[in-house]
């Protein structure tokens, strides 16, 4: 916005300076034409006689008029048509007879008569505090008797000073306006930037949150900050109530489930006792997933530098020790800012999903640009293309049952996605070419990179 306003002001100031300069130039030209008309109207043909060679008498020792048989225009000089029309109009009003009007601009150094006159009067311009002129206007009329009456009018040397003054005035006005706009925009955007940063950091940690923003800036911005602070306080209160409620639910459910584990030991039928134990374990696992998913948005620990390849290798070794068909593929050393316990949980969920539906699972870690890419590949049947997006939603499974043989409550992939997003990353599911399995791809920003 500041650049757009600065550009618009620059164009406006440039046009204004150009128009002022043009108006000043027109006034200067009108004054010069008026002076030339005055001198021509009172030329030697009416008042005095000029010498044939065109020199002035000692009595009229000033830059006046001359009467000469030839036109004063020299080769290469361009005529000023506008000035000629103005001069003709003035002379007509004075009743002066002429057949042609001529106006040209000439450098003083190319006019011997004007140069000699300046040399004879070196102090005339210095006394007025001005530098000698560099150009002059030669105005002439062709009289009915065939003679040319022409006058010289010095162009004031203050043209450059006028241009410099206009330029400085335009730059000063431009600087003042841009400075005022910058101050106003800064007053608006600074509290908005602070509010944006506060919103981006909101909810990252439970403890150590920055203090409440003090309202500043214009009235509407102050009201926005105050409303956001009130909303933030309300959200934090609701989250605290949710945590208390989930803690109570977890305690109230896990306690009777633990008692059930003890009571089923009295069941004499081994098959029935095993089924009951499996059901209890499935309930405990689902309850744990639900509580973990609810807490993933408000972690209590801070992220630390984690070597992702080493973390993945340690998790893969755990499965290999248990005899699960999990192998470690290509790995590259990449460091991410992460909560290691949460990453382990998400990786285990992806591996469990691959082991449950495929015969073999392959885990790899590579680096692509500013991201670490973790892939979990299996050789299972994959997922129908229309169901891939739905499988990342909570409590979604392709099977209708919820037993441990075919899966849990449908929270594993949802929890893995939430953990990836908690670290500024993403989780994507895709079928391998040829329908030979499923690929779960987790992208995490490298340490020091923006998510």
Number of domains in the chain: 3
pLDDT of amino acid 17: 77
All residues at 6 or more sequence positions from 45 whose CB lies less than 8 Å from its CB, including other chains: 67, 143, 147, 149
Is residue 324 in some structural domain? yes
56 in the same domain as 37: yes
> Quick check: 399 and 381 in contact, CB under 8 A?
no
Range of the domain at 130: 2-161
> Is 187 within the bounds of a domain?
no
DSSP state of 109: G
Q: Which of 300, 325, 341 is the last residue of a domain?
A: 300
Q: Do 6 and 150 reside in the same domain of the chain? A: yes
Asked whether 363 and 326 are in contact (CB, 8 A), the reply is yes
Whether residues 142 and 86 share a domain: the answer is yes
Q: Domain check: are 124 and 6 in the same one?
A: yes
Instruction: Determine, yes or no, domain membership for 414.
Output: yes
- Closest-CA residue to 349 (of 374, 386, 383, 371): 374
78 contacts: CB under 8 Å, gap ≥ 6:
104
User: What is the reported pLDDT for 397?
Assistant: 61
* CA atoms of 151 and 160, how far apart (whole Å): 24
184 located within any domain: no
Query: How many residues appear in the chain?
Result: 451
Is 287 contained in some domain?
A: yes
Residue 405's CATH number: 3.30.565.10
CA atoms of 431 and 380, how far apart (whole Å): 10
Kindly give the confidence (pLDDT) of every residue in the chain, 451 residues in length, as a single tens digit, with 9 standing for 90 and above: 778 887 887 888 788 878 877 787 777 778 888 888 888 877 554 433 444 444 444 334 456 677 888 888 888 888 888 888 888 888 888 888 888 888 888 888 888 877 777 777 666 655 444 566 777 778 888 888 888 888 888 777 655 666 777 778 878 888 888 888 888 888 888 888 888 888 877 755 544 455 677 888 888 888 888 898 888 888 878 877 877 777 777 777 777 888 887 888 888 888 888 888 888 877 877 777 777 766 666 666 678 899 999 999 999 999 988 888 999 988 889 999 888 888 888 898 899 888 888 878 999 999 998 899 999 999 888 888 878 877 877 666 665 433 344 555 567 788 888 888 888 899 999 988 876 789 999 999 987 665 5
> Does residue 183 lie within any of the structural domains?
no
Collect all residues with Cβ–Cβ distance below 8 Å to 385 and sequence separation of at least 6: 431
pLDDT at 128: 46
Helix axes 308-321, 340-357, angle to 10 degrees: 50
Do the beta carbons of residue 427 and residue 420 sit within 8 Å? Answer: yes
- CA angle 29–31–35, rounded 5-degree value: 115
């Amino acid at each position: 916005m500041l650049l757009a306003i600065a550009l618009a002001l620059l164009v406006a100031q440039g046009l204004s300076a150009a128009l002022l300069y043009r108006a000043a130039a027109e006034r200067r030209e009108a004054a010069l034409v008026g002076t030339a008309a005055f001198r021509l109207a009172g030329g030697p043909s009416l008042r005095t006689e000029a010498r044939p060679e065109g020199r002035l008498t000692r009595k009229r020792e000033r830059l006046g008029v001359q009467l000469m048989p030839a036109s004063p225009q020299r080769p290469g000089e361009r005529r000023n048509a506008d000035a000629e029309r103005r001069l003709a109009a003035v002379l007509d009003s004075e009743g002066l007879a002429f057949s042609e009007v001529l106006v040209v601009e000439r450098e003083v150094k190319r006019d011997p008569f004007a140069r000699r006159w300046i040399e004879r009067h070196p102090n005339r311009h210095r006394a007025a505090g001005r530098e000698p002129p560099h150009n002059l206007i030669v105005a002439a009329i062709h009289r009915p008797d065939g003679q040319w009456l022409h006058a010289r009018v010095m162009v004031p040397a203050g043209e450059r000073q006028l241009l410099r003054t206009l330029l400085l005035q335009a730059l000063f006005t431009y600087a003042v306006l841009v400075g005022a706009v910058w101050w106003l925009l800064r007053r608006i955007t600074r509290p908005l930037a602070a509010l944006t940063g506060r919103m981006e950091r909101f909810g990252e940690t439970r403890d150590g949150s920055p203090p409440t923003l003090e309202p500043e800036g214009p009235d509407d911005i102050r009201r926005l900050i105050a409303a956001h602070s009130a909303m933030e306080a309300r959200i934090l209160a609701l989250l605290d109530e949710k945590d208390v409620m989930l803690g109570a639910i977890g305690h109230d459910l896990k306690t009777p489930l633990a008692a059930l584990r003890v009571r089923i030991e009295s069941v004499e039928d081994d098959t029935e006792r095993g089924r009951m134990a499996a059901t209890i374990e499935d309930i405990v696992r689902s309850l744990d997933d639900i509580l973990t998913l609810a807490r993933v948005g408000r972690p209590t620990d801070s992220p630390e530098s984690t070597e992702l390849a080493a973390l993945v290798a340690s998790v893969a070794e755990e499965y290999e020790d248990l005899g699960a068909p999990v192998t470690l593929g290509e790995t590259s050393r990449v460091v991410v800012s992460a909560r290691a316990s949460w990453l382990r949980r998400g990786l285990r969920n992806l591996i469990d999903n691959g082991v449950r539906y495929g015969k073999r699972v392959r885990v790899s870690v590579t680096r692509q640009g500013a991201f670490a890419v973790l892939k979990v590949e299996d050789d299972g049947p994959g997922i129908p293309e229309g169901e891939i997006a739905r499988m990342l939603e909570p409590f979604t499974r392709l099977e209708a049952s919820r037993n441990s043989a075919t899966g849990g409550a449908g929270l594993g992939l949802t929890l893995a996605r939430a953990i990836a997003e908690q670290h500024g990353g993403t989780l994507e599911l895709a079928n391998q070419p040829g329908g030979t399995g499923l690929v779960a791809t987790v992208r995490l920003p490298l340490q020091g990179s923006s998510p």
